[in-house]
Amino acid sequence: MPYFCNTKISHMKILVLNSGSSSLKFQLFDMPQTKVLVKGLAERIGEATSRFKANDYEVNQPIGTHKDALQLLTTYLLDDKNQIIKDTSEIVAVGHRVVHGGNTFVQPTLITEEVKDKIKELFSLAPLHNPANLTGIETAEEIFKDAKQIAIFDTAFHQSIPVENHKYAIPETFYEKGIRKYGFHGISHQYVSREANKILERTDTKLITLHLGNGASATAVRNGKSFDTTMGFGPMNGLIMGTRSGDIDQSIIFYLMDKLNYTLDEIQTILNKQSGMKALAGSNDLRDIETATDNGDNQAQLALKMYAGAIKKYIGNFTAQMNGLDALIFTAGIGENSQKVRELVCKNLDVFGIEIDKKKNKNPKDYQGDISGQDSKVKILVIPTNEELEIAKQTFDLMQS
């Protein structure tokens, strides 16, 4: 790890940035107390209907670029009435979420020109994410000139996956070129698995973490380390998602090309943006699908059954691989908020010792997130994810090294 100074810094302000193609999420932390000083986002960047929100402040105005969004944030931070910072130099470090780190980055990394070049090389593996992540880095370098820029990679947590689980059964030359399972949502899976271990008061655990949002993935976490995960070389594989297909037979792609005359670009669009729950139920918003299900819509009911079924397949797979299971964790937008999905996923899994308490499942917060049935041998937990806090913690630890 990089060496910064002779004396550890016991107190610092760390800004966390999560840059999307047209959005910028941010949180400013006072570390190591983990106090949130500012939390907000800029969305619809580059559109006429942009919105900037920080704490209770909100403004709707065109935001042309990520730099414009960061300048709005800087103005807010420096405003005397907010009393947050007096100068940008008070921000010691900026922690950036970077989606794809390939084989190169396995831990928090001080950003240099060489690191930025490597992130560029990985554009083809995460075309929707890495370019936006790099834009956030370069913009932060301009505005927060005194701060160390730190990259936290979504793929890093999954670098512990053993070769038998990350290698594909294709010619060796492709593996040598970096074609393997990488996995994603690693920051979230790492955060909630650590929180689960605190609840269990153990670290020698066998966990399955379910990050269920518009993008969705499941991860087997053994003794605090990623052991297997559903997303692979790219983020399309595994579970059924909002607009992504999840697992399909590869021969479908060849059939679409050879027999139905679709181009590769068209197929990529279909599988990434027109599939999943959107294809099954006509919407990728689970709230709409659940409402339709309650109203007797057969397509919506089938979609939810398939969604839960895809998750169950991996619960069985991962439990078998780890030879047991201590806890099943639900997180992210759907995992944290959908009573129906949690119930469907856990239904008929008593063979694995998984039994949900339907009363607790209605209001997990009333039970500290523990929705396990009385006779359940496996803890069933709802743990809100906090990727920004995980990034702040990893950034702080690196700055202390």
Q: Which residues are catalytic?
A: 154
Pairwise CA distance, residues 118 & 167, whole Å = 22
Pairwise CA distance, residues 197 & 381, whole Å = 11
User: Exposed, middle or buried by CB within 10 Å (0-12, 13-18, 19+), for 103?
Assistant: exposed
With tokens 């560029």, the residue in question is: 120
* Nearest by Cα to 307 from 244, 240, 245: 240
Residues 67 and 140 sit within 8 Å (Cβ to Cβ): no
Going by the DSSP 8-state scheme, the letter that residue 123 receives in this structure is G
Q: Which tokens hold the place of 14? A: 């760390």
Pairwise CA distance, residues 169 & 126, whole Å = 22
- Tell how far CA 130 is from the center of its chain: 14
Q: Strands 12-19 and 91-98, how do they pair?
A: parallel
Going by the DSSP 8-state scheme, the letter that residue 356 receives in this structure is B
